[in-house]
Structure 1
Amino acid sequence: MNLYDDDVAKQLQHMIAFIQQEAAEKVEEIEVKGEEEFNIEKSRLVSQQRIKIIEYYDKKEKQIELQRKIQHSNLANASRLSILKARDDYIQALKEETRKQLTILTQDRVKYIYIIVNLITQGLIVLMEENVMIRCRPDDYGLVQQLIPDAIQRYHRVLQQKNIQVTVDDKNFLRDDLAGGVELYGMDGKIHVSNTIEARLELIFHQMLPEIRRDLFGINQHRKYYY
């Protein structure tokens, strides 16, 4: 090999070394860039998944909170209904006890006569019919017949109407378990007034129910109007 060949060989080696160096640097650059892109993509994916996880648990937390509120509301409503039912049961028991006590009225003849004649008179005034049929308990049949003239006289003093005929039904009677009182029928039974002791008690209870509730359970803090 002559000198010229040696120079060519050296140049070739330099060129090969330069190319290898360039290739190594390029490989390193590619590897660095790939690592950077990998880290960026990994960071993006991790961030994306983190956001999804946060959103998922936020949604779950809201669902749990909503379910908790619904359950709390249901329990509160159930408790409120239970209290209202217990109060209503107590009032009904009180009314039933009052009804039982009213049977004592029939034992006091003077008071019961006063009550019956007033119930008949009031029924006649409400109906304002010329022909009235009265129904009563079997035990009160004779008493009601005796009190009709007095009731008609009271009726005339109020309405000043003399054309009225009152009879007592001797075929159809009120139940024996009623505390007492009468039912009055006009227009051949098409209209009637229930003036039994139980009917009057029901009316009084209905009218006084707000006062009864207030006295038994106190003032309702959620109620705005009382009159």
Structure 2
Amino acid sequence: MHVLTAKRDGRGRGAANLPAPSNASPDSRERAMTGSTPYVDNGLQHAALWLVGPDMPGLLNLGATFVAERGGNIDKDIADKFGENAVIFMSITASPADIARMNEDKMLLRDKSGCNVKFQPMSQPTVPPGYQELLHGMDIVTEDAVGLIAAMTKLFAEHGVFVVGHTGERRVVPGPRPRVEFGQKYVVMLPREFDRYEFTRQVNEQVKRHNGTIKTPLQAVPGLLWWWT
């Protein structure tokens, strides 16, 4: 699994010329022109954008420009290439009016990019019954192995841990004897009835089987959980 994270300024190969809608909010247009960090308040909404289709120079820039010119801020993005195709995901924050405009204009992005485009506005965050409100995260690095993610997520499921975010990356560490590592980042919700000691013990056992380390132990992380509308 190979994960690439783009810079928030949206720079990519090539150039994009998607027009900024005239009815985007004035402060949104100003942010798009100046590149300043938008002020975050409770009036903002989240959305997700996917592009899936033939890869080409400037594809990431097309998506980032589409979001920026409509007042959106990219909170997180993942881009990857599979053969001749590319997959791009962006988590976006913007005003409800700008989110609505992006949703209306998504076909412009489809026509410009030649990709399948899905744009999904999100609702206010909710917490499932029986779970703690705080999000928790942990980072793990081990030797690469077949079935590693399956083994870890099985352990999480057995303890009722709700995985709401996961990224993983396989990488070669150079040296006299190059080795292959696999890094994982988990964001989870914990059940209210949770045996932290036993969970941590079993995670440590699993990690040690693959000569790994827990880079960041299970701890609360700031952020909001957004569910699909």
TM-score by length of structure 1 reads 0.20
- Greater strand content: 2
Which has the higher Rg, Structure 1 or Structure 2? Answer: 1
Highest RCO, 1 vs 2 (Cα 8 Å, sep ≥ 6): 2
| Greater fraction of residues in helix | 1
TM-score w.r.t. the length of structure 2 is 0.20
